[in-house]
């Protein structure tokens, strides 16, 4: 039986119940063993008066009927006295049968006595048949003596079963009285033999020998029985044997033993009968008086046994009760103390320690001594366990304080590194922007575009560190930004931006305070989509207005995710966990979940068939507004400021955007000194107009309208467009530069941007993308 998993109360109950139950069983057993003999002693009177007295009467009547039956067999005619005796015998047997059949005697009798009673009743049932043999003279005198002696022997066997008293002295006396009764019966057998010989004139064959054996047995039983009698009873029997009738009967027996068996008995019939009857009656009275005394003495003995039993039983019961109370009290004390230790441990593990950690993370000061006060559990082994637990609690609280302090310091390190990196990246972006404005060489401008794109991605990764540290990135907008611009800004911050198709995007705007985080969130999801899908596949981005906000869907056709992985990722996105430096495999999901939780954005992943994953981004209604109007386009070459937002169209599909760029961008002359005009086209984009100048180096000739262009060619064309835009801005808007902006960037009229720490001017768009304004997330706000 394995008890290791039992509750402590069950174990203590088992420890208490097992010995107490064993002690109770022993007490019940000892009480039963003692109570039984006491009941036997109390039932001695019942056995004496319901069996002893009626049985003794039956024995006496059978002895008399035996003598008369032998005398009748010795003479020629029937004796009238025999018929009268038979009626008295039948009456005595009927009385005995009534007593034997009663419940009172049977309840007091044991198993042995019950069996002996049944045998006695069966032997008495054979008496009528024996009488018939005697009446028909089918038995001799010795046979008649044996017939009655057998029934009398069953009676004495029953009396011997009565002598089973628990007290040794009383039991020995009862057996001695039973032996005296047997000797008296042997004396009656001798009387029957002598009476038959006197009536017949002589002993028949074998009767004298049987008489000799009977007298010898009678004397042996008397000597044995008298030796077991108490001293008073033995003295009384000695006085009884000194009576004249006993002396005369002993003299007559000696004469019969010395007489010739063939001669007539040498005794007088009257003298023999007188002395025998006197001795029989004296012995019977002695036996009855001793039996009455024995029954009377058994009652005090039984009462004494019951008193001792009651005292022992009460003491045993009191001991059991005391043992039970002590065991229960000690068990409850142990259980309460152990429960206290367990409760303290659970409270520390489930309440105190998490509360301490939460307070430490909130920046509160924690007193270790107050949060882990010492608890007293006693001076025993449980107290030792309690003191050890006190040390464990203090160590746990100190470890929690150290861990949170270390985590806070790690976050500060992250934040410090991120802020430094942000400052450097912003300065780098500003430098790149100035270099892009001054560069006219398309190849150099293309390289600068690539460096600009890498720096933008570096800024997004720096912002990841800020988010991991629990702080907010420094970028922000005051005015709403169109969802399309937000999506394009997120695409521009992805390495494989050329694999992203912007599908149908319904017009809407995002409030300024959430623009930077939404761009960062979408950029992380789009980058995951491009990273976990084959290079030849496309990533599709679409958006639509829904009753609860605005939904942006990002779908890839890549490896996909297992249902269990999707479930785990959605659970992490719904409830952002604490950042664990040991779990660095899902930093993107952690950043997305942090950004989503900051603004109440809901991000859900779902598997697509036959492969791929769709990320569904639900921007809540409080972050969605009407799409802001586009900035007015300035068509003059040297008049007013030309901003990127003023020249940015808002197509609804990425493919149309690329096609229009290919149609509107023209190649420029391969001369470093060639001048550039910003001539507006029908869609608001400036067109580069090539003019001949001094040839600085050979330029590849490009057809006016090529049928198909490679990505490198398109990139060079877009670089030329950027250079022309920068030239136009310097020529037409140099006088409108506000104080503090030496780079020449002019804020857009449709929404200002709030620069955070390390803010940067608007960098150039990546190769292949349409130019954007400084306030547009595509150009300036690339997510980390």
Higher confidence at residue 540 or residue 643?
A: 540
Cβ pair 244, 278 in contact under 8 A: no
Q: Residue 538 pLDDT > 90, yes or no?
A: yes
Could you tell me which of 725, 727, 731 has the C-alpha nearest to residue 684? Answer: 725
Burial class of residue 444 in the structure, from the number of CB atoms within 10 Å of its CB (0-12 exposed, 13-18 middle, 19+ buried): middle
> Which residues have CB under 8 Å from 688's CB, separation 6+?
665, 666, 667, 668, 676, 677, 720, 721, 723, 724
Centroid of chain to Cα 627: 60
The answer to whether residue 158 scores a pLDDT higher than 80 is: yes
What are the tens digits of pLDDT across the range 199-246?
888 888 888 898 899 999 989 988 888 888 888 888 988 888 888 999
Contact 44, 37 (CB under 8 A): no
* Mean of pLDDT over the chain: 75
Structure tokens at 353: 């320690």
Q: Range with the lowest mean pLDDT among 491-495, 722-726, 775-779?
A: 775-779
Burial 663-693 (b: 16+ CB within 10 A, else e): ebbbbbbbbeebebbbebeeebbbbbebeee
Give the pLDDT score at 709.
57
Give the separation between CA 618 and CA 548, rounded to whole angstroms.
8
pLDDT band at 554 (very low <50, low <70, confident <90, very high): very high
- Altogether, the residues listed in the chain come to a count of 784
**How would residue 518 be classed by pLDDT, with cut points 50, 70 and 90?**
very high
Q: Is the pLDDT of residue 583 over 60?
A: no
What is the mean predicted confidence (pLDDT) over 519-532? Answer: 90
State the Rg of the chain over Cα: 64
**Which residues lie below 8 Å from residue 424, measured CB to CB, with a gap of 6+?**
758
| Residue 627 per-residue DSSP state | P
Query: Please, how many CA atoms are within 13 Å of residue 324, restricted to the half-sphere of its CB?
Result: 12
- The mean per-residue pLDDT over the stretch 414-418 comes to 71
DSSP letter at 684? S
Q: What's 621's DSSP letter?
A: G
- Residue 194 pLDDT > 50: yes
Residue 509 sits at φ, ψ, to 5 deg, of -130, 160
Predicted local distance difference test score (pLDDT) of residue 485:
92
Predicted confidence at residue 687, as pLDDT, reads 37
Using one digit for the tens of pLDDT, what is the confidence trace for 609-632? 788 899 999 999 999 999 888 755
What pLDDT, in 10s, does the model give residues 324-360? Answer: 788 788 878 888 878 887 787 788 778 877 887 777 7
With left for phi above 0 and alpha for psi between -120 and 50, is residue 43 left, alpha or beta?
A: alpha
* pTM over 0.85, yes/no: no
* pLDDT confidence of residue 706: 45
Q: What is the dihedral of CA 215, 221, 224, 230, to 10 degrees?
A: -120
What percentage of the chain reaches a pLDDT higher than 90? 16
Task: Output the CA–CA distances (angstroms, integers) from residue 775 to 213, 633, 644, 781, in the order listed.
Answer: 147, 15, 8, 8
Strand partners, 679: 687
Cβ–Cβ under 8 Å, residues 199 and 193: no
In whole angstroms, what is the distance from residue 340 CA to residue 624 CA?
55
pLDDT value for 720: 67
pLDDT tens-digit readout, 671-729: 333 333 333 333 333 333 333 334 333 444 434 444 455 655 665 666 666 666 666 65
At residue 602, what are phi and psi to the nearest 5 degrees?
A: -105, 125
pLDDT for 737 equals: 36
Helix (H, G, I), strand (E, B), or coil: what is residue 657? helix
Q: How is 504-531 classified by DSSP, letter by letter?
A: EE---EE-HHHHHHHHHHHHHHHHHHHH
Report how far residue 548's alpha carbon sits from residue 550's, in angstroms, rounded to the nearest whole number: 7
Cα-based distances in Å from 645 to 446, 481, 482, 663, 770: 21, 11, 11, 20, 11
Cβ-contact 659, 651 below 8 angstroms? no
Q: Residue 328's pLDDT is what?
A: 80
Give the pLDDT of residue 555. 94
**Predicted confidence band at 586 (pLDDT cuts at 50, 70, 90)?**
low
pLDDT grade for 389, boundaries at 50, 70 and 90? confident
Structure tokens at 675: 């001048």
Contact present, 721 and 449 (Cβ < 8 Å):
no
Q: Which residues 6+ apart lie within 8 Å of 682 measured at CB? A: none
Q: Look at residue 43 in the predicted model and tell me its pLDDT.
A: 66
For residues 429 and 456, the answer to whether their CB atoms sit within 8 Å is yes
Tokens 């005009």 locate to 677
pLDDT band at 397 (very low <50, low <70, confident <90, very high): confident
Give the span between the Cα atoms of 510 and 551, in whole angstroms.
12
Two structure tokens written together for 9: 């109360």
Give yes or no for residue 636 having a pLDDT over 60.
no
Residue 569's φ and ψ, nearest 5 degrees, are -65, -40
Q: What is the DSSP letter of 736?
A: G
Confidence grade of residue 575 (pLDDT, cut at 50, 70, 90):
confident
End-to-end CA distance of the chain: 62
CB within 8 Å of 650: residues ≥ 6 apart: 482, 484, 485, 630
Distances (CA, A) of 526 to 220, 537, 539, 654: 126, 13, 8, 15
Residues 6+ apart with CB under 8 A from 729: 437, 641, 642, 744, 746
What are the tokens at 240? Answer: 């009884």
Sheet holding 481-482, edge to edge: 481-482, 509-510, 624-625
Contacts of 299 (CB under 8 A, 6+ apart): 41, 42, 45
Please give the Cα distance from 736 to 753 (Å, whole number). Answer: 18
């Amino acid at each position: 039986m394995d008890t290791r998993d039992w509750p402590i109360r069950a174990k203590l109950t088992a420890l208490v119940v097992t010995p107490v139950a064993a002690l109770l069983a022993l007490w019940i057993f000892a009480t039963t063993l003692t109570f039984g003999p006491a009941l036997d002693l109390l039932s001695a009177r019942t056995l004496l008066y319901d069996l002893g007295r009626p049985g003794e009467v039956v024995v006496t009547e059978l002895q008399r009927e035996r003598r008369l039956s032998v005398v009748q067999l010795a003479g020629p005619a029937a004796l009238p006295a025999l018929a009268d005796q038979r009626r008295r015998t039948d009456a005595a047997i009927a009385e005995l049968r009534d007593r034997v059949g009663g419940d009172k005697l049977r309840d007091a009798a044991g198993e042995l006595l019950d069996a002996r009673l049944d045998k006695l009743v069966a032997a008495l049932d054979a008496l009528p048949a024996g009488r018939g043999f005697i009446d028909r003279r089918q038995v001799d005198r010795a046979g008649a003596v044996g017939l009655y002696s057998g029934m009398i022997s069953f009676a004495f066997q029953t009396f011997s079963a009565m002598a089973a008293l628990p007290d040794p002295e009383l039991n020995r006396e009862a057996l001695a009285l039973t032996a005296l009764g047997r000797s008296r019966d042997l004396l009656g057998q001798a009387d029957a033999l002598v009476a038959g010989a006197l009536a017949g004139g002589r002993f028949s064959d074998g009767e004298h020998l049987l008489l000799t054996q009977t007298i010898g047995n009678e004397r042996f039983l008397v000597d044995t029985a008298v030796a077991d009698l108490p001293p008073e009873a033995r003295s009384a029997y000695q006085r009884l044997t000194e009576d004249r009738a006993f002396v005369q009967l002993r003299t007559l027996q000696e004469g019969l033993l010395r007489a010739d068996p063939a001669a007539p008995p040498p005794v007088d019939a009257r003298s023999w009968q007188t002395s025998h009857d006197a001795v029989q009656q004296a012995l019977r009275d002695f036996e009855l008086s001793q039996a009455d005394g024995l029954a009377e003495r058994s009652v005090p003995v039984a009462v004494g046994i019951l008193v001792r039993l009651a005292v022992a039983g009460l003491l045993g019961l009191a001991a059991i009760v005391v043992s039970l109370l002590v065991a229960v009290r000690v068990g409850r004390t142990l259980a309460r103390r152990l429960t206290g230790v367990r409760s303290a441990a659970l409270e520390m593990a489930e309440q105190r320690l998490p509360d301490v950690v939460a307070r430490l993370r909130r920046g509160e000061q924690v007193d270790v001594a107050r949060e882990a006060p010492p608890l007293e559990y006693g001076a025993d082994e449980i107290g030792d366990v309690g003191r050890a637990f006190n040390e464990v609690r203090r160590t746990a609280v100190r470890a929690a304080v150290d861990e949170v302090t270390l985590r806070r310091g790690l976050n500060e390190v992250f934040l410090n590194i991120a802020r430094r990196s942000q400052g450097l990246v912003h300065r780098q972006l500003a430098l790149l922007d100035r270099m892009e404005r001054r560069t006219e060489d398309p190849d150099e401008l293309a390289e600068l575009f690539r460096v600009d794109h890498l720096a933008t991605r570096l800024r997004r990764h720096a912002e990841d560190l800020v988010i991991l540290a629990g702080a907010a990135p420094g970028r922000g907008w005051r005015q709403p930004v169109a969802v399309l611009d937000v999506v394009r800004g997120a695409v521009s911050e992805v390495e494989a931006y050329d694999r992203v198709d912007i599908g149908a995007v319904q017009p809407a705007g995002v409030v300024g305070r959430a623009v930077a985080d939404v761009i960062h969130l979408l950029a992380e999801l789009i980058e995951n989509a491009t990273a976990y899908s084959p290079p030849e596949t496309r990533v599709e981005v679409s958006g639509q207005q829904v009753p609860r906000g605005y939904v942006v869907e990002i779908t890839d056709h890549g490896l996909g995710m297992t249902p269990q992985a999707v479930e785990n990722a959605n659970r992490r996105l719904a409830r952002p966990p604490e950042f664990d430096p040991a779990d660095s495999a899902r930093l993107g999901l952690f950043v997305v979940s942090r950004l989503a939780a900051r603004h109440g954005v809901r991000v859900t992943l779902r598997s697509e068939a036959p492969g791929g994953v769709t990320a569904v981004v639900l921007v809540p209604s409080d972050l969605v507004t009407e799409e802001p109007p586009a900035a007015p386009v300035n068509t003059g070459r040297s008049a007013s400021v030309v901003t990127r937002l003023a020249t940015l169209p808002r197509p609804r599909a990425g493919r149309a955007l690329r096609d229009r760029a290919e149609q509107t961008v023209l190649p420029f002359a391969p001369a470093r000194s060639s001048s550039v005009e910003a001539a507006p086209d029908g869609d608001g984009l400036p067109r580069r107009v090539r003019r001949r100048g001094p040839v600085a180096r050979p330029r590849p000739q490009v057809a006016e309208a090529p049928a198909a262009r490679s990505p490198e060619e398109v990139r060079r064309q877009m670089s030329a467009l950027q250079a022309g835009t920068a030239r136009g801005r310097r020529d037409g808007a140099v006088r409108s530069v506000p104080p503090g902006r030496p780079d020449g960037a002019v804020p857009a009229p449709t929404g200002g941007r709030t620069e955070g720490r390390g803010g940067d001017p608007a960098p150039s768009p990546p190769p292949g993308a349409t130019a954007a304004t400084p306030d547009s997330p595509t150009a300036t706000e690339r997510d980390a």
